[in-house]
Structure 1
Amino acid sequence: MSLVGKEVLPFKAQAFQQGDFLEVTEENFKGQWSVVCFYPADFTFVCPTELEDLQAYYGELKELGVEVYSVSTDTHFTHKAWHEHSPAIGKIEYIMIGDPSQTISRNFEVLREEEGLADRGTFIIDPDGIIQAVEINADGIGRDASTLINKIKAAQYVRNNPGEVCPAKWEEGEDTLKPSLDLVGKI
């Protein structure tokens, strides 16, 4: 069952961000655009490459009004230790949520129950707390954060321009479509 168009379910968790611990709930996803990036575990192999890549686009995402959250079933203490010991993770400025209860991973339907680990899932959430896009990769396939920029720009455009949609490979400033009977079979 798809989570697209669904509101983020309630949760409360501890997180780590740049030397501080903080509490995060589903309410943090409201009032701004959010990217929530689930990954299997701290101190692993593909995960730090993905999170470092996401950090490389963090400034650009912030300019678009997007906050970034990474989530694993590790604790916020483990996130802190990883941040202090990994050169890649030490660069991260965004919020790293601990999900040892696995509540958030279950809510987003990315938990691998047998292993207690999350799949590689990326979610774009609008300012109302509604999931607008989902991408889930197999464990060995790392994600490319650069693909988020155009997806978010398209989601923001569609939200701000009711009745218009963005075609494949749409980039900001390009033509959009206005669905109507006149377009049926002509694209």
Structure 2
Amino acid sequence: MIKPREKAPELEVQLVNGTTWKLSEQSPENFTLVLFYRGKHCPVCKSQLEDLQKKLDKFTERGVNVIAISTDTEEVAKATHEAWDIADIPLGYGISIEDARKWGLFISEGIKQEPKHFAEPGLFLVTPEQIVYWVSIQSMPFGRPSFNDVLGGIDYILKADYPARGEA
């Protein structure tokens, strides 16, 4: 299980814009927000990512880089990027189930129109040194933290120099 104050697993993903994104190459002022979402099949993910798009400037203002990642294929991820209102969110795809497990994500077996296996949601704040600061992992599509709560938390963290918690 991944814990706060530990080095984040290396993360390298392809983006729908044809580039490669690496966590180790990120140099945000304060944090990188790594958001794992279930995939195009998930209407809750669509709502979450479209809300993130609306609040992207608020994260940028706080020195937070953002990326959203799924286990979807390139074709599905590109269709997601076109169909959803998420034009400015770097969208990564093709993370392996093995790599998703390194982040402590729950893995589900698909039902109905879902992929055979996919990662359930996870939200991570990672420091510029690739140290895990904040972890929120779900085993279901429901109950994700609101971005307003996350933004409020970041404000408090930065104002109070609040340490990462959950490390013991």
TM over 0.5: yes
The number of residue pairs the alignment matches comes to 156
Residue 114 of structure 1 and its aligned partner are, at CA, apart by: 4.5
Q: 1:61 to 1:23 in 2, by over 3 A?
A: same
Residue 113 of structure 1 and its aligned partner are, at CA, apart by: 6.0
Partners in 1 of 2:90 and 2:20 — Cα distance? 10
Residue 112 of structure 1 and its aligned partner are, at CA, apart by: 0.8
Say what the alpha-carbon RMSD is for the aligned residues.
Answer: 2.4
Partners in 2 of 1:75 and 1:28 — Cα distance? 23
Partner of 1:146: 148
In the TM superposition, what are the counterparts of 1:28-177 in structure 2 within 5 Å?
28-32=25-29, 33-84=31-82, 86=83, 89-112=84-107, 114-115=109-110, 116-143=117-144, 144-158=146-160, 161=161
Residue 10 of structure 1 and its aligned partner are, at CA, apart by: 1.7
Return 114-123 or 25-34, whichever deviates more: 25-34
Partners in 2 of 1:92 and 1:66 — Cα distance? 18
Residue 14 of structure 1 and its aligned partner are, at CA, apart by: 0.6
Could you list the structure 1 runs, at least 4 aligned residues long, displaced by more than 6 angstroms after superposition.
none
Partners in 1 of 2:135 and 2:106 — Cα distance? 15
Provide the identity percentage: 24
User: Of the candidates 18, 24, 27, which is equivalent to residue 21 of structure 1?
Assistant: 18
Residue 142 of structure 1 and its aligned partner are, at CA, apart by: 4.8
Of structures 1 and 2, the one scoring higher in RCO (CA 8 A, sep 6+) is 2
Residue 40 of structure 1 and its aligned partner are, at CA, apart by: 1.2
Contact 2:49 2:86 in 1 (8 A): no
Q: Which segments of 5 or more consecutive residues in structure 2 lack a partner in the other structure?
A: 111-116
Q: 1:76 to 1:70 in 2, by over 3 A?
A: same
Partners in 2 of 1:64 and 1:31 — Cα distance? 10
Partners in 2 of 1:105 and 1:134 — Cα distance? 14
Measured against aligned partners, the alpha-carbon deviations of 1:149-177 in whole angstroms (never above 9, x if no partner) come to 1222233345xx4xx669xxxxxxxxxxx
Measured against aligned partners, the alpha-carbon deviations of 1:25-44 in whole angstroms (never above 9, x if no partner) come to 22134444111111112132
User: What's the TM-score once normalised by structure 1's chain length?
Assistant: 0.72
Q: Which segments of 5 or more consecutive residues in structure 1 lack a partner in the other structure?
A: 167-187
